[in-house]
């Protein structure tokens, strides 16, 4: 997946504007990283690639993150970062960016709950620590298909 992204970027650099990668290609690379199996070295390489992709998409002003990209990035953190405090730290920062960008969806909350429970529980708006999507600020999901229930 990374090779395909690199090829598309080389095509753009050589003047083929139609080859410009979109957010879905970046998400596909993240997805491949998230589900990398094998040795510790393989997983560390996958994490490094995912972090490069995140930085590249963040730096590219003409591409916008979407909730699918963010959700996949949470999966990368969840599957590839074994240290819970590091995973929580990165997930907390990512969640803040998602709130700022209006990308918090039900699916994203579900993924956050699975992979960063300490971040998720900090959002609790009931006595049991559960998060009710409809009680979250609408601004957090302004760029998603938000349905209140």
- What is the predicted pLDDT for the residue at 146? 59
Say what the pTM is.
0.86
The pLDDT of residue 126 is: 57
- Listing DSSP states for the chain in one string gives -HHHHHHHHHHHHTT-GGG---HHHHHHHHHHHHT--S-HHHHHHHHHHHHHHHHHHHH-TT----HHHHHHHHHHHHHH---HHHHHHHHHHHHHHHHHHT---HHHHHHHHHH-HHHHHTT--STT----GGGS-GGGGTTS-----
Q: What is the pLDDT of residues 92-134, one digit of tens each?
A: 999 999 999 999 999 999 999 999 998 998 887 656 767 888 8
Q: What is the pLDDT of residues 37-96, one digit of tens each?
A: 999 999 999 999 999 999 888 887 777 888 999 999 999 999 999 999 999 999 999 999
């Amino acid at each position: 997946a990374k090779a395909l992204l690199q090829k598309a970027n080389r095509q753009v650099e050589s003047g083929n504007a139609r080859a410009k990668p979109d957010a879905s290609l970046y998400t596909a690379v993240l997805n491949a990283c998230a589900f990398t199996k094998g040795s510790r070295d393989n997983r560390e390489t996958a994490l490094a690639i995912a972090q490069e992709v995140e930085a590249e998409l963040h730096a590219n002003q003409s591409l916008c993150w979407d909730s699918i990209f963010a959700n996949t990035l949470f999966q990368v953190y969840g599957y590839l970062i074994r240290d819970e405090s590091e995973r929580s730290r990165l997930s907390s920062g990512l969640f803040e960016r998602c709130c700022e960008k209006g990308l918090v969806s039900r699916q994203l909350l579900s993924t956050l709950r699975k992979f960063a429970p300490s971040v998720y529980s900090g959002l609790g708006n009931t006595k049991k620590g559960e998060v009710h999507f409809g009680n979250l600020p609408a601004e957090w999901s302004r760029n998603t298909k938000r349905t209140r229930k």
